[in-house]
Amino acid sequence: MKLVVAGTGYVGLVAGVCFAEKGHDVTCVDVDENKVKQMERGVSPIYEDGLEELMQKNFAAGRLHYTTDYKSAYRDPDAIFIGVGTPEQPDGSANLSYIATVCRQIAEHVEKNCLVVVKSTVPVGTNDRVEQFIRDFLVRKELHIEVASNPEFLSQGSAVRDTLHAARVIIGTQSKEAEETLRKIYEPFGLPIVSMSRRSAEMTKYACNDFLALKISYMNDIANLCELIGADIDDVSRGMSYDERIGANFLRAGVGYGGSCFPKDTKALAYQARQAGYHLRTVAAAVDVNTEQKTRLFLKASSRMISFEHLKAAVLGLAFKPGTDDLREAPSLDNVRLLLEAGADIYAYDPVARENFCRLYPEGNHFKGSIHYVKDCKSALQDANICFIFTEWQQIRELSPGMFKEWMRTPLVYDGRNVFDVNGMKEAGIEYYSIGR
């Protein structure tokens, strides 16, 4: 089928590439001409495992195209997928302006009956408004333009795999015709398809993401209590994981969740609940726990140190999770700012997120401290007075306790991802602090 995907971020680009991989003819639309040229060269604008290889393969095969010419792109496709951003606004609500822009462009330039599919995460009821908005601005009033919901459930770092081998595909439609079109699009994937109404599909997306955020915050809350009463969160989570009612995923304690989904989606659903006159107490608690959890290790270190001024602080890991260069809501952001304000000289290492972090904090002086970016863990740890671990990259996992002892001036480690064994670190002579252990 002839498909168009509006937006080439995590949602749009991954969807477009995977549709092409399954044999569809796909055009990805973006407003950034330089980004389009970059993608035509086979270079992905985001770090995502396996994505560039599929971009290059399908572009060479003629199934994948990139353009800024939305007028031509929206003229005659069978379906248009909207994958633009819905960033969080100061009050927690979702900013739908990018979706509105795409919808108006579609309405003004589409020339045949078409299904418009919203993949972006949007508040419940948005697809109803999108359909009406398109009809309001539709130039060719005789056309039948219907809107469907098809929320994504990809995880950054494994987005291609999550799309090609998803546990299920959620489709929300208001007619059999729209449902059949989406089933035909996804038929080559060979995945279970769960069909429901548009509003139920929109709600399913929030319900899933917020439930996972709840699990993370719950485990972090339990971990904080474990520290106070002498239990080990690793033992607790291992014991919990055997319970099929609970499951083994999202039970790891740490310094909180980040990324493009959980922080934004928890706040957005809480906002929509308030607008409906309901208080989502569980989701609000997850947000509160996560906010406090991010800087828990820094506060521990602050009570241990007299001052951070002119101390070399090694920071291992900047991305919010391994496998991505995304910094949105990453715990490293809050902690680096606090360390710089306290006068620390930071030596930071991340295998892929360095460039993005450097845009926020260019190398040099900031506040009372400074930040420097290094090529490997050893350069960060060499003669360091203190070390913070914020991302569990494999390069960090491969370090041995003896390396901290050998390289650091003061072997003092605050591990926000529970990467290392407590006894192993202590036996190596490391003063070691983690979460819930």
In 3D, which of 337, 341, 316 has the Cα closest to residue 413? Answer: 316
Of residues 28, 103, 261, 387, which has the active-site annotation?
A: 261
User: What gap in Å lies between CA 384 and CA 412, rounded to an integer?
Assistant: 9
User: What gap in Å lies between CA 64 and CA 54, rounded to an integer?
Assistant: 10
Handedness of CA 297, 302, 303, 305 (dihedral sign): positive
User: What gap in Å lies between CA 108 and CA 385, rounded to an integer?
Assistant: 61
| Residues making up the chain, counted from first to last | 437
In 3D, which of 42, 98, 101, 46 has the Cα closest to residue 66? Answer: 42
Cβ–Cβ < 8 Å for 151, 5 = no
Q: Is residue 261 annotated as a catalytic residue, yes or no?
A: yes
Cβ neighbors of 254 (< 8 A, separation 6 or more) are: 216, 220, 293, 416, 417, 418, 435
Cβ–Cβ < 8 Å for 28, 65 = yes
- CA distances, 366 to each of 217, 334, 341, 344, 346 (Å): 31, 14, 8, 10, 10
User: What gap in Å lies between CA 34 and CA 213, rounded to an integer?
Assistant: 35
- Catalytic (active-site) positions: 261
